[in-house]
A and B are shown apart, each in its own frame.
Chain A
């Protein structure tokens, strides 16, 4: 079974402060991890995925297999980062391509 845990339901930070969204997972095979973002009144969209190892909108996430974590970080939060963030997992490499989502973290960046 695959499971994604996002322990923080709400996260509030000031503009310019660092922000870290926690994500832990459990999966028996080789997982692929994603962060999806949903801005207010918009559809869900991919923010980044671990295989691409890139920074999107200043966000980075490193897969830590030892700790089974994929935390999302940004050193300086901006007001436009306020959104709902979902960590997701798929076992694509095992041909198990469906996504399992965490509960989501609502981020509010205050001026």
Chain B
């Protein structure tokens, strides 16, 4: 089956530093990947849609200069939280769009990355 990995699974950083989170589709190519943010016991909030070879599309209210997204290949998208602050602490989840015929329009989710900014 389609597997999506994220690295790291958790990260603790100091306020003001930047953190990069990787999202990889392990056994399929993903033209489109999505980045979500999830607060404890709350729903997933879509942050941006990452398209391979083009600029990401950000949802309203998400600062594109704060959350830099790069989708350099069909199997890798990265989210960089720049100049992180404690309010950026959250669970970040990526998903990849399985456009293969057998998966239809299913999104495959990564395990998430827990970011804690001190």
Contact = CB atoms under 8 A, between A and B. Distances in A.
Interface of A: 32, 42-46, 49, 51-52, 86, 90, 92, 97-104, 106
A43 B46 contact: no
A97 B32 contact: yes
Contacts of B97: 97
A101 B46 CA distance: 9
Contacts of B95: 44, 99
Contacts, number: 44
The interface residues of chain A, by DSSP majority, are classed as strand
Given A97-B97, A100-B46, A32 B105 contact: yes
16 contacts: A42-B111, A43-B111, A43-B112, A44-B95, A49-B104, A92-B105, A98-B49, A99-B34, A99-B46, A99-B95, A99-B107, A101-B43, A101-B45, A101-B46, A104-B42, A104-B43
Interface residues of B, number: 20
8 shortest interchain CB distances as A-B pairs: A44-B109, A92-B105, A43-B111, A103-B43, A101-B43, A101-B44, A104-B43, A43-B109
B69 interface: no
A102 B43 contact: yes
Contacts of B32: 97
A23 B97 CA distance: 23
Interface in B9-62: 32, 34, 41-46, 49
A51 B107 contact: no
Given A99-B46, A104-B43, 13 more contacts: A42-B111, A43-B93, A43-B110, A43-B112, A44-B44, A46-B107, A49-B104, A86-B44, A90-B105, A97-B32, A98-B34, A99-B95, A99-B107
B106 interface: yes
Interface string B80-118: 000000000000010101000000111101111000000
